[in-house]
Structure 1
Amino acid sequence: MTIATGDSVTLEYTGRLDDETVFDTSRASVAEETGLADAQPDREYDPLTVEVGSKQVIAGMEEGLIGLEAGTTTTLSIPPEKAYGEQSEEHVQEYETETLRETLGGQTPEEGAVLETKDGQHGEVVHADAETVKVDFNPRLAGETLTFEIEILDVN
């Protein structure tokens, strides 16, 4: 059966950056080999099931699945505009250090710290001094071309 919009697809995947760094996988063996399992010890590494067209995965992945069949193994190269977009200065917010310190319950923000907003958005502190703090809310993989090795296990 050829995959079409609306189909439920179960697949194994490994996502890599241009420098071959593995940033995500569904395979426990790959997670162990690359150290991902150590970084996320509570995560289960199981096949992923998605409904094509429901925006459960990035656009480039959905588009790449259409037309494939169960049993197919392929590699998809997904440019930033079909993944997490380009890096944008619009997603870097500047705060007064004292105001942010109060919001954080008295903690002083430090470069490299990851903050979470009330709505669940994550941002990395990229600059902190006595007057201002800059927090980058760009997605971690923004600006990256992503390569996925995928194996289609089942199509319904």
Structure 2
Amino acid sequence: MTLEYTGRLEDETVFDTSRKSVAEETGLAEAQPEREYAPLTVEIGAEQVIQGMEEGLIGLAAGETETLTIPPEKAYGEPSDDNVEEFDTEELREMLGGQTPEEGSYLEAQNGSQGEVVHVDEEVVRVDFNPRLAGETLTFDVEIVDVN
């Protein structure tokens, strides 16, 4: 199935879209200049998109538009303290080539997940690896381009 989509948070902030015009209007295009905007092709049942989106796409036909509202448990889950990791400040500084991370900056773990530095002191650095959209109810406006 191929679709165009725009994803919004509850406050109407657009956080993702396949449409270049929407990306330009909302400033996403500036934030991600290397990104290509094109319809998304997904295979239903292959877990390529969040559960709530996959469930909402089932049964839609080409040409149909739909607004899907997806609660956190069918999107990125709730934030968990288990996803906040502590590092020894000195060890982390060595791993980063002598730099001390700053609060609000992002680090990439070896598995590729992104974490936000939420605390730094002389002994410990805390990094929050919760998904950026954890705890959020997401709304997707979708338009089905093609069903294969």
Q: TM-score, normalised by structure 2?
A: 0.98
User: Residue 146 in 1 paired to residue 106 in 2?
Assistant: no
Where does residue 35 of structure 1 map in the other structure?
27
Consecutive unaligned residues in structure 2, runs of 5 or more = none
Q: Deviations over 1:93-133 (max 9, x none)?
A: 01111111111111101101110112211101001111111
Query: 1:44: how far off?
Result: 0.6
SS of 1:63's equivalent in the other structure is helix
Q: TM-score, normalised by structure 1?
A: 0.93
Q: Pairwise mapping of residues 49-68 of structure 1 onto structure 2 (< 5 A)?
A: 49-68=41-60
SS of 2:67's equivalent in the other structure is strand
Where does residue 99 of structure 2 map in the other structure?
107
Percent of residue pairs identical:
75
Q: Deviations over 1:53-90 (max 9, x none)?
A: 10110000000001111110010000001000100000
User: Residue 155 in 1 paired to residue 115 in 2?
Assistant: no
Where does residue 6 of structure 1 map in the other structure?
none
**AA aligned opposite 1:152:** I
Q: CA RMSD in A?
A: 0.6
Q: Deviations over 1:1-46 (max 9, x none)?
A: xxxxxxxx00000000000000000000000000000000011100
Query: Equivalents in 2 of 1:102, 1:42: separation in Å?
Result: 31
Consecutive unaligned residues in structure 1, runs of 5 or more = 1-8
User: Residue 14 in 1 paired to residue 42 in 2?
Assistant: no
Query: Equivalents in 1 of 2:101, 2:18: separation in Å?
Result: 34
Q: State the aligned residue count.
A: 148
